[in-house]
Each structure stands twice: as C-alpha cells, then as structure tokens.
Chain A
C-alpha cells in the first residue's frame, strides 16, 4: 500500500482528479459525461504518439520526427482517398500503419547502423518527411468535401458508447503495456536504457533495441496521423506541426526518465490525459488560448521540479536507513 502511494502514477492521478474537481467548481459542465468524452477523444492521438515517444526516451533518445510522420501518413492517405473514393476506408488503417512503420524503420536504421544519435537522426528525417508532404500535395490542402464519408467516419464510428478512436487507443495502450511488461523485447528496452554496457554484456542486441523503439514510434505516429487528418477533415503541410514537443512533455510529466531506463505505459497515458484536461479546462474557464501555452510550460516545470525534490527526499531516506 505504501508502495502504491509512492508511485508517481498515483500522485499524478490524484493531482489530475483534484484539478478536475477544482475546475468543475467554476464551470459545472466540466465533469459532464459529454465533456469528459470530448476530452478523451481530443487526447487519443497524443496518448498514442506519446507512447511511441516514450519507448525512444526509455533508451535515452528522443524522436523528433513523430509530427512529420503524422503529416506524411495523413497526407498520403488523404490523397489516396481523394483519388480512389471507391476503396473502403478501413483499408487506410493498415496502410497508415505500414507507412509509419517504414518511416520509423528508416530513422531506426540511421541510429542502429549509421551510429547517429536518435535526436540527430530524427531531426534529419523530420525535415525529410515534412518535405515530402509538400512534394506530394504541391502545397495544396485536402479539404473535407474531397474526402469520402467513410474516411471521415474512421475515428468517430460509435461502438458501445465509445468512438472508434477511443477503442483504437485502448487497444494500443493495452498492447503497449503487454509489450513493455510481458515480453522479452520490452525487458531488453529497459535494460538497454538503464545500463547500455551491462545489457550488451548480458547479450542484449543494441541495434535490435534501437531499431525496435524507433520503428514502434513510427508505427504509432503513422496510425495517429491518419486519425488526426480524418478527425479534423483536413490534410495540409502544417498538420500536427510542433506536436512532437507535446508528446515529449506528456512523457516527462508521466515520469519517463529522460536519461533512459525508467518509465511506464500507465504514467505516459496519465501524463497525456493531464494535458488533454488542461487544454479543455482552460478553454472552459475562458482563458485566452495565447495564455494556455504559458500555463502548459509552467505545469511542466512544476511537475518536474516537484518530482526531482520527491525523488531526492526518498533517496535521502534510503541512505539514512542504511545501517552504519
């Protein structure tokens, strides 16, 4: 029980709930089921992409290319849909997944075989992928009336009261949790991120791990890109611009260690939800969108500083406990 309260996920979740209650005091409609459902739908893409991002951060890297990957798969599927309206819309899900996987694998191979640090490799691919969006679209937008009804309905089809967007996200979260906690590949990622040398001595393949995390990140960004574009009914060259920073922020808030080695799927999900709630709450209580960015930044700082202080305190207690 003590352990449960010490966990970062728990404190973060409690803070989140307290925040929601506070907001609802000023805006009673905030906790209405419709509003919560809308927050959830707004946050789904962030959850997916932040999960992929967290894999890369777990090995001490960062994936700068996720937003460009989203724009890439969003634009490619939107153009395919525009010119082949006969193809059933569900086909674009595997297509987006495959495209994202390919883009992620390319970044991964730069890291694993080209020996580039993840950040450098993905800054390069970020530019390349975004560049292709301009090339394919010639700078033009794909607008809702150029998309088929099936394509636009991809994230919004309802099942048991929840949208397909939410169902897809739930599936991904469960798959990610199983992958990280219950497979040997997941264990390899934690080991490699926690102590690269010890992992190599123990027979973990560094290249495999590097390939794996960046490919997984690409896969999730690919799916998210399709859902983003079909949800907003708009594909253009600035799709999801700057989104990579939000995914990093969600990871950090969710307790993923920036030098690698520790962090959980649950933490990332709560971290992402936190941002979803804040964005919605600030709008509900009528705070200017310009000011929202400021507040987001402040929250990141408060979260990290308090976390560092708590960690240090726990560490000191441990030291004091040691018998001398």
Chain B
C-alpha cells in the first residue's frame, strides 16, 4: 500500500458498559503516511476507541476495516499480528529485562534448533536502535533507561513488528522539550516511511507541530475531523467543549471570609516549581491541570506525605510545620485521597473502624480504645452520610462502590476539619451519585468549610469552584475568578496554549 491510501476505517463504533455509553456511533479513519491526532477531553472516549482498535475491547456495534479488509480483533495479539502497535505511556515495558528482550517480547525469534536465537535478535535490535537513534547497548536493562529512551525502545519494538499503524498515547507527558524534539524527529521519519501514526496529546502546541490531521471526540461521540492546517486552537477547543455547563451544578451563594491557608513558594526538583496560592474561609478552590502538571504532588507535599525542597505554609496566618497526615489533622486539614480502595479504606476492617481510623489515638483513653466514643462518632457521621449497610460492624469490602466512597468521606469529616482537600471526588462514580456528591460538597462550603478540590473534569471544576488555579508543567499558569473562567480560557492555560499571554488573567502571587 502506498502513502495517502486509507489504512484504517472504523464505522459506527459503539461500546457500552453497564450504565455507561463510552462510545456511540464513532467514525474514525486514517491514511498511510500521516500523523493523525485524536483529540478530546478526559472521558471523551479516546482511550476506549484505542482499546477497541487494538482488540482490548470488542465493540458493541460497528465495523473495523484495516488495510482494506474487514477485521474482528479478538485480542491485543490479533491486532498486533495485523500490524498495529501501541506505545503506552509507561506500561508494557519489562523493567528487569534487557533492551533486546523488550524489543522482541511477544515475538521471540527461534533458530533452526528450536532454541531462541539471541544472536540474530541482538543484531536486529542494534539495527532498530540505530534507526530510532538510540545509542544504548542491547544488553542494558530497561530499568536503567530514562523515560524518553524507553519510548524509543517502544518504537523500536513497533518497528520490529513491522507495524503499519503505530499508536502513541500521550508520549510526551513525561518528556522534556529537547526529548520531545528528538521524538518528533523519529515520528517524522516513521511518517516518511509511509506508516500511519495515531497521536494522542493534550498539548496544542505539539499537535500543531506534528499532526497532519485530526479527529475530535466529545462524550463518546464523533464531533468532527479535518486537516490541522485548516483549523485553530480556538476551533478545536470549541469542538472539544461545546456543551452547556453550570446548570446541573448546585447554586451556592458563596460566603467567603478571611484567608485560612496560604502556600508560599513551594518547589520540589523534578515535580513543581514556585507554587503559591491561598484559600479563604467558605471557599471552593478548584485545582486544574493535565495529568503530570503537578497538582497532586503539591497537595501531597502540603499534607506532609512527600517532601519538598522549599516553601512555607501558613494556617490562619501562623506559619506551621506539617510533617505527616497526623500534623495536618491536628491543624484541621483533612486530605481525602483519590483512590478510595487503595488509599482510603482498610477493606478487612469494619465500617466503624475505618471511620474512626484517623482519630483512634485521640479518642482513646490513654493506650486503651474508647469504644463508646468510637460508636458515637461512627453513628453520627455514618448516618449523616446515609451509608447503607447491615450494620457498622460490616466489613468495608462488602460494601458497594458508592457506599465505600461515603465511608471515606465520613472518615475525614469525622475529624471535624476546617480545611478539606478532595482529590478527584467523583472519579469512577455514576452520574446520580456524582450530583449527590456535588450537592454535599457545596453544602459543606456553605457551612464555612474551606475546600480545595482537585479534578480532571473541566465541567466539575467550572461548576463548583469559586476560584480556579490552573497548573501547567509544574508551575502555576493562571488563577481565574469564577466570573472570568470559561472552558476555553481554562483549557488554554492547562494545555499551554495561552503562551501569547493575552488570556492570562494574572498569575497567582
């Protein structure tokens, strides 16, 4: 097949999960010799589409034609054998195997004797490494390589499979500018060889530099496609967002008081630099940014879970030292982590023991537990969160996801915080529960609680926050007041597309 020919044609692709329509009637096609950008917000369906294409998911409806033939990929191996290679962000590498072993994992070559022919594989690996301009030994462990070098090994692997379609899912999210340039050089080379490259990125400057064409998805549906040279950042953002926000979020009359928390000059080498912001009483401060922008890292340093190189924290005007969650709790700061099963719950413990966990020591009389006081706390907060369970003695592992989330919230509210930090509070819960959580957060703020809400969902950030702090590549990019914030200005700041400065409403100081 020659450059310019259509290699992939997906028609009317739908993928339904119980209760969720992840994709609905999506059309997507690619030509050989082009870099095609797949664009959309978090949750727009990009990853699902890639998973359907690579045989991880079977589509609920729709057809896939690859190289002119209709195909039905039953597994990732099917897609791989057909000539589709995926270079993941981090995964799918074996850190403790060598570069050569990684390149040939899944399609090892055998010699005449039936044993593995390492000599041939290493020779071939050296040639492939040369083509991606990576000068490391084939015997070096992948563990010892940088992220950028691992990407190149991933590309070498795709080449070894002689893939005609290469998928790169946010390949630059962890790369420096210099490394990104090197990667783009290789991508152009692949394009020159007549391969098709599917490129997923949130960074508009990169999209305009490397991509030839684009397809935009929104809420699991196809929105439009075209050539990059015929479009603009504004048009793409309109296509990505293009929906009414605000009306489904609780209306709240903010009653904002004096400053309760101020973070000054936070820096940590390799994670974030010179981050400052403040939080006022009764306020919801939204923290927005792409994955890897450093939002969660700043918060983890703030509550003492991770170190920092520089920076001061003031609570109610007084400078404080927070060396761990216990210090934070003492100061009235509760941090509700993102991953409720991994970081929030002890599954083998009862609901009651989970709720009182952060304050067992404070509730105890000397070294001995005070079960009366614990029951009291459990009952009060368990009931106020309307946790549905047979009893407070039931183990957390036996609860539904929504109820587990309620236990986690009850646990932190039971510490009676004045500052509440919520990391992705509605991630992975259904729409109905989401609305309930939003109403609840809004009610807490009305009661005078000060809230920092980290979220990757733009509508949630815009609908809930009184002010929005946007981070980009480890730095504070913009600080918006609710009235100045709209989808496109916030997205531009978060994707670094506001470089001209015209849209920067003023940096946080």
Stretch of B232-240, B308-316, B356-364, B447-455 contacting A (4+ beta carbons < 8 Å):
B356-364
A-B contacts, CB under 8 A, total: 73
Q: Does A203 touch B at the CB level, under 8 Å?
A: yes
Query: In the complex where A200-B325, A203-B324, A203-B329 touch, is A191 in contact with B357 (Cβ < 8 A)?
Result: yes
Contacting A201 at CB < 8 Å: which of B325, B347, B400? B325
Contact status B305-A203, CB under 8 Å: no
Q: Which residues of A contact B400 (CB under 8 A)?
A: 322
Instruction: Render B305-348 as a binary contact track against A, CB cut-off 8 A, 1 for contact.
Output: 10000000000000000001110110000010100001111111
Shortest CB–CB separation between residue A178 and chain B, in angstroms? Answer: 8
Query: In the complex where A185-B367, A202-B357, A203-B358 touch, is A318 in contact with B345 (Cβ < 8 A)?
Result: no
Q: Does B353 touch A at the CB level, under 8 Å?
A: yes
Q: Which residues of A contact B346 (CB under 8 A)?
A: 190-191, 194-195, 198-199, 261
Q: Does A188 touch B at the CB level, under 8 Å?
A: yes
Give the nearest-CB partner of A321 in chain B.
B398
Q: Which residues of B contact A200 (CB under 8 A)?
A: 305, 325
Q: Which residues of B contact A261 (CB under 8 A)?
A: 346, 348-349
Instruction: Render A193-228 as a binary contact track against B, CB cut-off 8 A, 1 for contact.
Output: 011011111111100000000000000000000000
CA distance A225 to B410 in the complex (A): 47
Write 17 A-B pairs (CB below 8 A) sorted by A numbering. A182-B369, A183-B368, A190-B348, A190-B349, A191-B349, A195-B345, A195-B346, A197-B343, A198-B343, A200-B305, A201-B343, A202-B358, A203-B324, A203-B325, A203-B328, A205-B326, A322-B400
Instruction: Render B398-428 as a binary contact track against A, CB cut-off 8 A, 1 for contact.
Output: 1010000000000100000000000000000
Q: Does A7 touch B at the CB level, under 8 Å?
A: no
Shortest CB–CB separation between residue A60 and chain B, in angstroms? Answer: 12
CA distance A318 to B396 in the complex (A): 13
Contact status A183-B324, CB under 8 Å: no
Q: Which residues of B contact A187 (CB under 8 A)?
A: 353, 357, 360, 369
Contact status A188-B360, CB under 8 Å: yes
Contact status A202-B348, CB under 8 Å: no
- Given contacts A185-B367, A201-B337, could you give 18 more A-B pairs where the C-beta distance is less than 8 Å? A183-B367, A183-B368, A184-B360, A184-B367, A187-B369, A191-B346, A191-B357, A195-B345, A195-B346, A197-B342, A201-B305, A201-B325, A201-B335, A201-B343, A202-B358, A203-B326, A203-B358, A261-B349
Shortest CB–CB separation between residue A233 and chain B, in angstroms? Answer: 38
CA distance A182 to B372 in the complex (A): 12
Shortest CB–CB separation between residue A137 and chain B, in angstroms? Answer: 39
Shortest CB–CB separation between residue B357 and chain A, in angstroms? Answer: 4
Shortest CB–CB separation between residue A3 and chain B, in angstroms? Answer: 9
Contact status A184-B364, CB under 8 Å: yes
Q: Which residues of A contact B326 (CB under 8 A)?
A: 203, 205
Q: Which residues of A contact B305 (CB under 8 A)?
A: 200-201
List B residues 167-188 near A (Cβ within 8 Å).
none
Shortest CB–CB separation between residue B20 and chain A, in angstroms? Answer: 15
Residue of A195, A261, A262 most packed against chain B (CB within 10 A) = A195
Q: Which residues of B contact A198 (CB under 8 A)?
A: 342-346, 357
Residue of A185, A187, A199, A202 most packed against chain B (CB within 10 A) = A202
Shortest CB–CB separation between residue B411 and chain A, in angstroms? Answer: 8
Instruction: Render A305-324 as a binary contact track against B, CB cut-off 8 A, 1 for contact.
Output: 00000000000001000100
Give the nearest-CB partner of A178 in chain B.
B368
Q: Which residues of A contact B324 (CB under 8 A)?
A: 203, 205
Shortest CB–CB separation between residue A196 and chain B, in angstroms? Answer: 9
Shortest CB–CB separation between residue A256 and chain B, in angstroms? Answer: 12
CA distance A188 to B367 in the complex (A): 12
Give the nearest-CB partner of B340 in chain A.
A198
What residues make up the interface of B, taking CB atoms closer than 8 Å to A? 305, 324-326, 328-329, 335, 337, 342-349, 353, 357-358, 360-361, 364, 367-369, 398, 400, 411
Is the contact region of chain A dominated by helix, strand, or loop, or is it mixed?
A: helix
Give the nearest-CB partner of B400 in chain A.
A322
Q: Which residues of B contact A322 (CB under 8 A)?
A: 400
Residue of B344, B348, B358, B400 most packed against chain A (CB within 10 A) = B348
Q: Which residues of A contact B353 (CB under 8 A)?
A: 187, 190-191
4 closest A-B pairs by CB = A203-B326, A194-B346, A203-B325, A202-B358
Contact status B347-A195, CB under 8 Å: yes
Give the nearest-CB partner of A324 in chain B.
B18
Give the nearest-CB partner of B364 in chain A.
A184
Contact status A199-B357, CB under 8 Å: yes
Q: Which residues of A contact B358 (CB under 8 A)?
A: 202-203
Q: Which residues of A contact B328 (CB under 8 A)?
A: 203
Q: Which residues of A contact B345 (CB under 8 A)?
A: 195, 198
Query: In the complex where A191-B349, A199-B346, A322-B400 touch, is A184 in contact with B369 (Cβ < 8 A)?
Result: yes
Q: Which residues of A contact B367 (CB under 8 A)?
A: 183-185
Shortest CB–CB separation between residue A206 and chain B, in angstroms? Answer: 10
Q: Which residues of A contact B343 (CB under 8 A)?
A: 197-198, 201
Shortest CB–CB separation between residue B114 and chain A, in angstroms? Answer: 38
Q: Which residues of A contact B357 (CB under 8 A)?
A: 187, 191, 198-199, 202, 204
Q: Which residues of B contact A262 (CB under 8 A)?
A: 348
Residue of B305, B357, B361, B368 most packed against chain A (CB within 10 A) = B357
Q: Which residues of B contact A201 (CB under 8 A)?
A: 305, 325, 335, 337, 343-344
Instruction: Render A216-248 as a binary contact track against B, CB cut-off 8 A, 1 for contact.
Output: 000000000000000000000000000000000
CA distance A183 to B368 in the complex (A): 4
Instruction: Render A132-160 as a binary contact track against B, CB cut-off 8 A, 1 for contact.
Output: 00000000000000000000000000000
Shortest CB–CB separation between residue B131 and chain A, in angstroms? Answer: 41
CA distance A181 to B344 in the complex (A): 22
Q: Which residues of B contact A190 (CB under 8 A)?
A: 346, 348-349, 353
Give the nearest-CB partner of B324 in chain A.
A203
CA distance A261 to B348 in the complex (A): 7
Shortest CB–CB separation between residue A140 and chain B, in angstroms? Answer: 44
CA distance A195 to B349 in the complex (A): 10
Q: Which residues of B contact A204 (CB under 8 A)?
A: 357
Contacting B369 at CB < 8 Å: which of A183, A194, A197? A183
Contact status A182-B368, CB under 8 Å: yes
Contact status A194-B361, CB under 8 Å: no
Shortest CB–CB separation between residue B278 and chain A, in angstroms? Answer: 24
Contact status B348-A194, CB under 8 Å: yes
Query: In the complex where A188-B360, A199-B357 touch, is A194 in contact with B344 (Cβ < 8 A)?
Result: no
Give the nearest-CB partner of B393 in chain A.
A3
CA distance A151 to B460 in the complex (A): 73
Residue of B324, B328, B335 most packed against chain A (CB within 10 A) = B324
Q: Which residues of A contact B369 (CB under 8 A)?
A: 181-184, 187
Shortest CB–CB separation between residue A2 and chain B, in angstroms? Answer: 12
Shortest CB–CB separation between residue B120 and chain A, in angstroms? Answer: 40
CA distance A250 to B361 in the complex (A): 31
Give the nearest-CB partner of A188 in chain B.
B360
Give the nearest-CB partner of B349 in chain A.
A194
Shortest CB–CB separation between residue B377 and chain A, in angstroms? Answer: 14
Give the nearest-CB partner of A197 in chain B.
B343
Give the nearest-CB partner of A318 in chain B.
B398
CA distance A73 to B368 in the complex (A): 31
Q: Which residues of A contact B337 (CB under 8 A)?
A: 201
Q: Which residues of A contact B342 (CB under 8 A)?
A: 195, 197-198
Q: Which residues of A contact B361 (CB under 8 A)?
A: 184
Q: Which residues of A contact B398 (CB under 8 A)?
A: 318
Q: Which residues of B contact A191 (CB under 8 A)?
A: 346, 349, 353, 357
